[in-house]
Structure 1
Amino acid sequence: MKLYDAAWAPSPRRVRIYLAEKGIEVDRVPVDLRSDEHLGAAFLAINPRGVVPALELDSGEVLCESSAICRYFEALQPAPSLFGESALDIARIESWTRRIEQEGYAAVVYVLRNQREAFRDRGVAGKWPAIPQIPELAERGGILWAAFSTALDAQLATRAWIATDAYSFADITALVTIDFAKAARLAVPEGLGNLRRWHAAASARSSAAA
């Protein structure tokens, strides 16, 4: 199988960190986003949506979406578990992963895609007709980011990791989101010591460099 990857994009990084935590090796095919290789005919034949990552199986079937790819590998190699083992832990990890995606990651995308010149008429990632920027969405993203960061800091007040007692896919998702926020010039607000402590611990894991 082959993983179509991009070095600096957040979604492929989420898969790389997950694979590193699991100790899984997969052949990788780099896709140059800066030159719009993901929008060229060759890659669109792999994923018509024009986004990475994409996992091409030996059968020729292609799986897209970073969380779906990680779920696939979790089913193949359950240990060590990153999606939870008990029913309650599975639910906790899923709940926080969705919240991080819908509040934190969405906030970064709102800001990044609606104010940077590089994304003019590219308000949504991938192969789409021209989608204009909406400045109000960038403003909304900044408000959402501050609220999300505060909520995550509160969650980490009495625990080392976000969803359960163990490092999980929710932590991977949050690490990628917070690091990606730098591209939108969003930072963890001052005074959120719990979140900063957690970020230092997550960043110190060897998988964070994947």
Structure 2
Amino acid sequence: MKLYDATTPNTLRVQVFLAEKGIEVPQEAVDVMGGGTRTPEFLEMNSLGELPVLQLDDGRILTESVAICRYFEELYPRPRLMGESAYEQGLIEMWNRRMELHIFGPLGDAARHTFAFFADRVEQNPDYAAAQMRAFDRAWAWLDRELADGRPFIAGNSLTIADITGMAALFVCDLMNKTLPEELKRTKRWEKEIRCRPSLAKRMPDAA
């Protein structure tokens, strides 16, 4: 088994997921900036030219960060990061999708329409990027209101994949020099607690 990864938001999700479970998997770093995801060999594994990629011992391939996390959740069920009961699994999936669609997604779109690296992959639109950043700000304010019930993590009383998706959003925030407003007291409390976790701290952009 081998995990192909790099310092990207989606590979961060898998790396943190594995770290929280205490799983060690052989990894091979891919030089994204040097075109490592666009070689014929890599495109054989993932025709989209994206990371992460998990290659199983028999040669089968899994891509997409959440799909890879689900695979490891079934192999190593403790601690549960995707839920125990049917309801809990549904609730965590709900919150993970919310974090993807309303927070991680707009920020990622803004980055794709801003960073020079994506210029040959996306027809960049600065106005769209600005609109996505405004949507991102509104989403954090919405999340702050949702956390008014006092729960310590996004989906309840323990860390789940929904928080890990939030970590990926914080990773992009750092890359874009974006900070969360101080008046969002509940999300700032969550951010402070999340950033202190060893699974994340050493993987942030300024951790060198």
Which residue is 1:205 aligned to? 197
Are the aligned partners of 1:108 and 1:184 in contact in 2 as well (CA < 8 Å)?
no
Of 187, 191, 194, 2:183 maps to: 191
TM-score by length of 2: 0.91
Of 154, 160, 172, 2:145 maps to: 154
| Count of residue correspondences | 201
SS in 2 for 1:4: strand
Q: Give 5+ residue unaligned stretches, structure 2.
A: 204-208
TM-score by length of 1: 0.91
Q: Give 5+ residue unaligned stretches, structure 1.
A: 124-131
Which residue is 1:16 aligned to? 15
**Which residues in structure 2 correspond to 1:92-131 (within 5 Å)?**
92-123=91-122
Cα root mean square deviation, aligned: 1.3
Is 1:173 the counterpart of 2:172? The answer is: no
Which residue is 1:127 aligned to? none
1:91 positional shift: 1.4
Please tell me the residue identity of whatever aligns with 2:199.
S
Rounded Cα–Cα distance in structure 2 between residues aligned with 1:179 and 1:58:
31
Distance 1:12 1:110, change over 3 A: same
SS in 2 for 1:115: coil
Rounded Cα–Cα distance in structure 2 between residues aligned with 1:116 and 1:71:
30
Rounded Cα–Cα distance in structure 1 between residues aligned with 2:147 and 2:194:
13
Which residue is 1:2 aligned to? 2
Moved over 3 A (4+): none
**Which residues in structure 2 correspond to 1:45-124 (within 5 Å)?**
45-123=44-122
Rounded Cα–Cα distance in structure 2 between residues aligned with 1:204 and 1:185:
19
1:182 positional shift: 2.5
SS in 2 for 1:45: helix
